[in-house]
Every structure is written in C-alpha cells, then in structure tokens.
Structure 1
Amino acid sequence: MRNETRGTLELTLAMVLSGTLGIFVVESGASALNVVFFRCLFGAIALGAYSLVRGYFRAHGFTLRKVGLAALGGVFIVFNWVFLFEAYEATSISLATVVYHTQPFFLVVFGAVLFRERITAARFGWLALAFVGLVLVSGIRPGDTASLKGLGLALAAAVLYALSTIVTKRITGVRPHLIALVQVLVGLPLLLPLADLGAMGGLGAGWAWLVGLGLVHTGLMYVLMYAAYQKLPTAKIAVLAFTYPAVAMVADWAVYGHHIGLVQALGVPLIVFASLRVTLAGPARTPAAAPAPRTAAHEPEAASPAATRSA
C-alpha cells in the first residue's frame, strides 16, 4: 500500500505539472514550432542525463526495428505538440485541453480500422456521448473561425497522439525513458528547417519558460509518470489522468481569466466520463484471424505514455 501511495503522489504531481504546461507555452512568447524545437532540445538533455545516471543505456534493448518505431512515434508526438500549442493560441488552454482528451476515442477507431478490433455497442455509445460533449464544449457559433480553428488543431493533436500510442505500444523490452529520448531527439532535425531560430534573439525571459518546458514538463514529468506506472493499477492511472485537464482549466482561469461558459461546462463531464469508461473497458477483442499484437503493456519496463494522456 505504501508503494501505491507513493505512486499516487508521483502521478498526481506529474499531472499537475502537465496542467501548467499551457502557461509555460504562452508565457514563452515563442511560436509553436520554436517552442516544440526547444522543448525537444532541453527535454533530450534532461532525459539523456537521467538515463545516463541510472545506467539505462546499458542493455538498452533497442534493435533497428525498435529504433525505427520509436522514431516514427516521435514524428507523431512532435507534431502533436505543435498542433496542441497552436490550439492554445487559437482558442484557450482550457478548451484545447478538454478537446485534446478525446484521444481514447481515436484509439478505438484506429483499433477497429487497423487491427479489426470490434467496437461493441457500449463503446459506440460512449463515443456518441463524447461527441455530444465535444459539440457542447466547442461552443462554436456561426462565423467563429478562431474557435473552429482551435477545435480542429486540438483534434489533430489528439489524432497524432493516438497514432503515436499505437506505434509506441509495439515496442517491447525497452525502458520508456529511452523511447521518449529517441522521440524528442527526432524532433530536432525534424523541426530545424521549420523553426524560426532568428526570432529567438530577443526572447529575453521567455528562455526561462522554454527551459522549464524541457527540464520540468518533459524530463521531470516523464520520470514521475513512468515511476508511477510501475506502482499503480490501470484503473487508478486512468482516474488520476483527469487531474491534468482539471488543473489546466483552473490555471487558465487563474492566470488569464479564461473560463468556459455554462453550455460548454455541460460538455466537460460527458467527455471525461465517456473517456474514463472507454479507458477502463480494456482492449477490445479481435477476430480469430487477426490476433491483437503484443504491446508494450506486456512489458513492465516499457509502459506506454498513453497510460495517461499528458501533453
């Protein structure tokens, strides 16, 4: 029980940190592409140093195939961050975060399309309920192109995160810290031609926020999450994951005065409850001709970041 209590504290702290991520992004004053580039840079330094000190590079378990899968997952993760951070600017941290938490439903859809997993009537019902919640939360009115753009960006981020989850879960026998390290390293050459590094000269105090994104929201946060995964049952992980959007909404209101309206507020519990039900339902059964692939969930040292939906 003491071990589980420690895991609860670790994951709660990780989700609280994740909920403040939007503030760091906005306060940095940099473009989304620049923010993600430097998050990858400082995050790689933090994860690399931690893995080196812990001796994770010895017997790392990587093969060429596993590195390729990690790199592909990194492409999805990196652009997931770009779209999410742009959604913050187009709408608000609160709205973007809530919409971003539709990720479990895209996992269900991709499971049905890619692995022929059966969508039960119950799951279809939860998908429908979440869609209703999404419509309410969006609060889009005719001509409100900014909210529509933000909604689209957050949904695109959720799709990319779901794709990254599918790819990453196929990597077994490798510590998640090393998988995350490969993913952020991929972001450096990927974003270097796209980032406007010349605009960073006059950033000033914004650099402190960028360093925080890398060291705290990528290094420390991931270390806390992965440590907690080994101590907690799936049900508790799924419940604690919703600390993230709750903190994000409170932080957005406290710092920027943004809050969702009454109608939008009605949609939040629909998305949260439906997402929780889908997450706790477990993997869907696949037809006998197409057995479900072995996933990283079968390896205690290779727990997937998808266990919690942090940014």
Structure 2
Amino acid sequence: MKLAAMFKMILAMSIFGSIGFFTVKTGVPAIELVFVRCIFATIFLSLCWLLTGHHKVEVWNKRELLVTLICGIFLVLNWVFLFKAFEQMSITISISIYHLAPIFVLILGSLVLKERMNIMSLIAIVVCFLGSILVVGTNGYSSLTDLVNSGFIWALLAAICYAMTMLLGKGINQLSAYAMTFVQTFIGIIILFPFIDLSKFDNLTFFNWLFILGTGFIHTGLVYYLFFDSLRKLPTSVISALVFLDPAVAILLDIIIVGFRPSLMQIIDILLIFSGMVYTLVKPKKNGKYETIEGNLNP
C-alpha cells in the first residue's frame, strides 16, 4: 500500500508540474481558466466522493465548514494569481517565487500561531527572499509599476495564498479530502462567476480546448484524486521530499519545451530559493536529527 501511495504521489506531483505549460497553451485568461478548473474539479471530485461512499460517513462540523470555505477562497485566489504570473513571466521564475509558500507558512506561523523562530529560520527566510528578488532581475524595472507588470507581485501573492491554504488546512480534520475539496472548488465557482467574460472562450482552437480540458480534468480532477488518495498513507517526510517534483518538472518543461534559458545569476538565485525551502520543510532538531513540517501540501 505504501508503494502504491508513493507511486500515486509521484504521478500527481509530476503531472502538476506541467500545469504552467498547459496554462499558457489554453489561450484563456487566468480568471476564466480558474473558473473552468473549479467546474471540472467540482464534477470530478464529487463523483469520486459519491462512488467511494465517503458521503455516507461524512462528519459535518460548522467550525470546520467555515474554515474550509475560507481555505477555499485562498485556494482559488492562489490559482488566479499563479496563472496571472504565468501570463507575464517565465514558468521557471513564477514557480520559483510561488514555492516560497513554506517560507510564508513559517512567517505566518510565528506571527499568528506564536510559533518560535530560531536564527537559522530567519537566515532561511532572508536567503529565500533575496533569491526571489534577484531571480526576477533588476534591469528594466524603473518603477513599481514595471515590477508589478513583470508578474513578480502575482507570483508572490500566489505564494501567500498557498501558505494560507496550508495553515488553514491544518485545522480541518473531520471532513474527508473529497468533501473538503468539493466545498473549496464549489465556492470558487460562486466567487468567480460575476467576473467571467464568456467572450474569452470565442475563437478558441481545437488544441486550446484540449489544453483547457487537460487543465480541468487532469491537473485538477485526476491530480487531486491521486494526491488526496495517497496523502494520508504516506509519512510527512516522504511528502516533503516528493513535493519538489512539482517545481522540478515545471522548470525542466520550461527549459526543454518552451525554450527558457535562465542566466547564471538566475540559476544561482533559484538555488538560493530552494535551499531555503529545504530548510523549512526539513528542520534540524537540537540533537542533530531532522524533523519534517506537518502541513497541508495541496498542489
């Protein structure tokens, strides 16, 4: 069972790593694409929820339902901001900044949950933020508007919303993964509906629709099924390691297929970001051993 769960997690994170490539091929703006994604996810995962019989034994708690709804808002905003970042900067740089989320979990945990932060954690935060600023590059950004238009702010906002999803998800224990995701994606449909411009779906090619369907059914429905089905069967240490497959696949596809060529400085900055991330996911104990951070690692 552990091997099957590990295979599902590897497959889920590898598939999700290609979402940036699919997103730029859909020809649809971020809000409209997330709206479609929420519809497909709600249909697919509600069917899984019903077919597995989890709906019969679901435990509904008012507090958890409220937390799930708030978590869903941050999850949807996370998708919108990430897709907007893909529209304005390379997938490699967007993903690198986006995966600052564990750093924001560390910061928010110290501020909101009063968790203690040691000197090494502070160094990890400084290293990651330094890398995220430098990886965008400073040439050509003469104003704050230029920096915003580069996609940097969108990727940063996506990371913050991702971190909020992780923190809030830690408080959801009774609802099944299917029920939780159904509520989150359904609330996404309601939130985004007033902002949808249906004309954005006009004049799309057959291949555009293939990538849209892929983003909905594969990257949302299938990936979430594989992810949640394996999540509770694997130790956090394994999950923390496999989560790096997502950015690794994204960066490789950006380089091999899209043709992005990072400069030497950008490569160094990306390494700075991920080295800081490694520390936040695997924290050293005082006795020299290591422990992993528990958290909701939703893709």
**Counterparts of 1:9 and 1:260 in 2: how far apart (Å)?**
31
How far the C-alpha of 1:127 sits from its partner, in A, is: 1.0
How many percent of aligned residue pairs carry the same amino acid? 30
Residue of structure 2 in register with 1:141 after alignment: 139
Residue of structure 2 in register with 1:229 after alignment: 231
Instruction: Map 1:164-203 to 2 at 5 A.
Output: 164-203=165-204
Q: Is the 8 A contact 2:128 2:276 kept in 1?
A: yes
**Counterparts of 2:247 and 2:226 in 1: how far apart (Å)?**
18
TM-score (norm 1): 0.87
**Counterparts of 1:222 and 1:39 in 2: how far apart (Å)?**
12
Change (3 A) 1:249 1:147: farther
**Counterparts of 2:17 and 2:123 in 1: how far apart (Å)?**
29
Of residues 93, 96, 100, the one that matches 1:95 is 93
After superposition, the CA RMSD in angstroms is 1.9
Residue of structure 1 in register with 2:47 after alignment: 49
Change (3 A) 1:131 1:239: same
Residue of structure 1 in register with 2:220 after alignment: 218
How far the C-alpha of 1:228 sits from its partner, in A, is: 2.3
How far the C-alpha of 1:188 sits from its partner, in A, is: 0.7
**Counterparts of 1:243 and 1:162 in 2: how far apart (Å)?**
18
Q: Does 1:5 find its partner at 2:7?
A: no
Q: Which amino acid aligns with 1:6?
A: A
SS at 1:83 equivalent:
helix
**Counterparts of 1:103 and 1:201 in 2: how far apart (Å)?**
35
Q: Is the 8 A contact 1:88 1:150 kept in 2?
A: yes
Q: Is the 8 A contact 2:18 2:249 kept in 1?
A: yes
Can you list the C-alpha shifts for 1:8-41, whole angstroms capped at 9, x where unaligned? 2211111111111012211110010100000000
TM-score (norm 2): 0.90
**Counterparts of 1:68 and 1:7 in 2: how far apart (Å)?**
30
Residue of structure 1 in register with 2:118 after alignment: 120
Number of residue-to-residue matches in the alignment: 287
Q: Is the 8 A contact 2:148 2:154 kept in 1?
A: no
**Counterparts of 1:164 and 1:200 in 2: how far apart (Å)?**
29
Q: Is the 8 A contact 2:166 2:297 kept in 1?
A: no
Q: Which amino acid aligns with 1:197?
A: L
Q: Which amino acid aligns with 2:53?
A: G
How far the C-alpha of 1:147 sits from its partner, in A, is: 7.5
SS at 2:51 equivalent:
helix
Unaligned 5+ residue runs, structure 2?
286-293
